[in-house]
Structure 1
Amino acid sequence: MYVSNSLRAPFAATVLAAALAAFAVPAHADTSRPTIVLVHGAFADTTSWDGVATALRSDGYRVMVPDNPLRGPANDAAAIEKVLDGIDGPVVLAGHSYGGAVITNVHDTKVKAMVYIAAFAPQQGEPIAIAMDPFRFPGSQLQPPALALEPSNSGLDGYVAPDAFNSVFAQDVSPATAATMVAHQHSIAVTALLEPSGPAAWATTPTWYLVSAADRVIPPAAERFFAQRMGAHTTEVDASHASLVSQPAVVAASIEQAAR
């Protein structure tokens, strides 16, 4: 995980607060509605969903924001399935970026709808590295040196270089917001990008997709391809890859469409 030394103490305090808030249920939550589970992507943590979760909770939804280990679709989907085991009633599952590959591999009959936010949606047997084919879908700026590598317990992890984060990952947020996102950045195992996806849950579940039309990480053409292949209800927002941070109200509205 990449965390700058100067931010480790406030980062730890923020992570603790986020952990306590991740499973919060608002007092006015409507228990007849589905629980919404938000799965973050690579180069982020649960706090990336803060604005969206706040909007959903203010509208009366129960929201859970579990940690995504970022070790590989099968491993990470199993972690999310353990969270779903503790939920009674229907679930709407939303994933951002790599989180889309994770929810694609989640299989639970409580999941009644899936929402992809600028996310990967691989089919069975397809690794993310192939799904993001630069020949069919050129334009991603997440290339070295913006994409950096570091040794990890799993071999090698990738993260977004701090000096490129604002311009590549989230060009529509302020430098201060981008700095906070960098402080919360979690690296992803490189092997996660090469792991073939399992059976696609989207093949048997209603899906929604919100395309980020100004995405510099996953080319918008790739996102539109994923959405069309799934047969998803598709909308677009003029936003960076980090639409959940820059446009939380729009993202929340897309999730609520699925919840309804």
Structure 2
Amino acid sequence: MAARTKPTLVIVSGGWHVPESYEKLTAALQSDGYEVLVPRLPSTAPVRPPNADLSTDTEFIRSFVENLVENGQVVMAIMHSYGGQVGTNALYGLGVKARSALGIEGGISHLVYVTASAGLEGSSLETIGVAEDDQDVVPLVFDIAEDGSCLSRDFRALVGPGCSDAETDAYISTLVRWNSRGLWQPLQHCAWRDIPVVYIYTAADMMLPLEHQKTFVENMEKTGVKVQTFELATGHCPNFTATEEVVRVINAVTP
């Protein structure tokens, strides 16, 4: 029997994250034979005031992935945190099944949400999966400058436990300012409606609590979408703190 061909993996970054933030995961996946691409989101560019937001990130990621699938490649999108908002908005209509029905090769095999936003059309990061009485947490969690760029008020809590202080400090040093406008911009599209979905829960997440992660999945399943789920006992950045476990999930769902 011929060995199955591995999909190209595209990591859609979370807020504050750049390609260097995913080097540990990228290296682990490459050692398992994957091609891994981590495009830098325009909203993390070193420009102040920021000149890119969810709309810009959406256009950029859609174009990036379209170029791959138009060349016949099968792509698995691995979306982390805010990257779920971007991928959900950007990747609609690019699934393998939809393209195959049109006689076109290539497409997205799976959307893998890694403790990531997975909302409905019209929802924003500030509202999806969050109760109304939780809306005032934004200024407590995000240090937002007058120009709209922001940092987390506690990157160590964001990353979570699992690595040494020195390793965590090195990871945090890769994180950059991000445009907070993305918190309030609503989704226009929901790619998960017609592309197979995987959701990786992180049980010790201080940024996106487990109950909110499960709300995303429940809302998708209410529309009739089947979601394959995995749960890791780690924080908001399993790409760093639970790298091998994430690789095992990717291997388990690789078509």
Per-residue deviation, 1:104: 0.3
Per-residue deviation, 1:135: 4.7
Distance 2:42 2:246 in 1: 23
Cα 1:258–1:168 change in 2 (3 A) is: same
Q: Deviations 1:130-189 (Å, cap 9, x if unpaired)?
A: 1141458x6x9x75455212243xxx122113xx22134323332222222332112222
Distance 1:173 1:158 in 2: 25
Q: Deviations 1:69-121 (Å, cap 9, x if unpaired)?
A: 23433321211122223323111011000001111012334112100001011
* 1:73 aligned to which of 36, 54, 67: 54
Distance 2:18 2:146 in 1: 20
2:158·2:237 contact (CA, 8 Å) conserved in 1?
no
Distance 2:131 2:149 in 1: 21
1:232-247 superposed matches below 5 A:
232-247=227-242
* 1:94 aligned to which of 69, 73, 78: 78
1:100·1:119 contact (CA, 8 Å) conserved in 2?
yes
Distance 1:144 1:201 in 2: 30
Distance 2:76 2:58 in 1: 15
Match of residue 190 from structure 2: 200
Q: Name which of structure 1's ranges 183-192 and 203-212 shifts more when overlaid on structure 2.
A: 183-192
TM-score, scaled relative to structure 2: 0.80
Residue 208 of structure 1 aligns with an amino acid whose one-letter code is V
Per-residue deviation, 1:68: 1.5
1:158 and 2:150 equivalent? yes
Distance 1:69 1:134 in 2: 30
Distance 2:26 2:9 in 1: 9
Per-residue deviation, 1:56: 1.5
Where does structure 1 lack aligned partners over 5 or more consecutive residues? Answer: 1-29
1:115·1:258 contact (CA, 8 Å) conserved in 2?
no
2:13·2:81 contact (CA, 8 Å) conserved in 1?
yes
Residue 159 of structure 1 aligns with an amino acid whose one-letter code is L
Runs of 4+ aligned structure 1 residues displaced above 6 Å come to none
Residue 238 of structure 2 aligns with an amino acid whose one-letter code is S
Match of residue 49 from structure 1: 22
Distance 1:235 1:48 in 2: 22
* 1:131 aligned to which of 128, 133, 140: 128
Distance 2:160 2:125 in 1: 21
Distance 1:145 1:101 in 2: 21
Cα 1:168–1:82 change in 2 (3 A) is: closer
Cα 1:130–1:146 change in 2 (3 A) is: closer
Distance 1:117 1:39 in 2: 10
TM-score, scaled relative to structure 1: 0.78
Per-residue deviation, 1:252: 1.6
Cα 1:200–1:68 change in 2 (3 A) is: same
Residue 250 of structure 1 aligns with an amino acid whose one-letter code is E
Q: Name which of structure 1's ranges 57-66 and 84-93 shifts more when overlaid on structure 2.
A: 84-93
1:60 and 2:25 equivalent? no
Q: Name which of structure 1's ranges 164-173 and 84-93 shifts more when overlaid on structure 2.
A: 164-173
1:132·1:218 contact (CA, 8 Å) conserved in 2?
no
Where does structure 2 lack aligned partners over 5 or more consecutive residues? Answer: 44-51, 96-106, 221-225
RMSD: 2.3
Distance 2:200 2:162 in 1: 17
User: For this pair of structures, how many residues does the alignment match?
Assistant: 224
Match of residue 106 from structure 1: 90
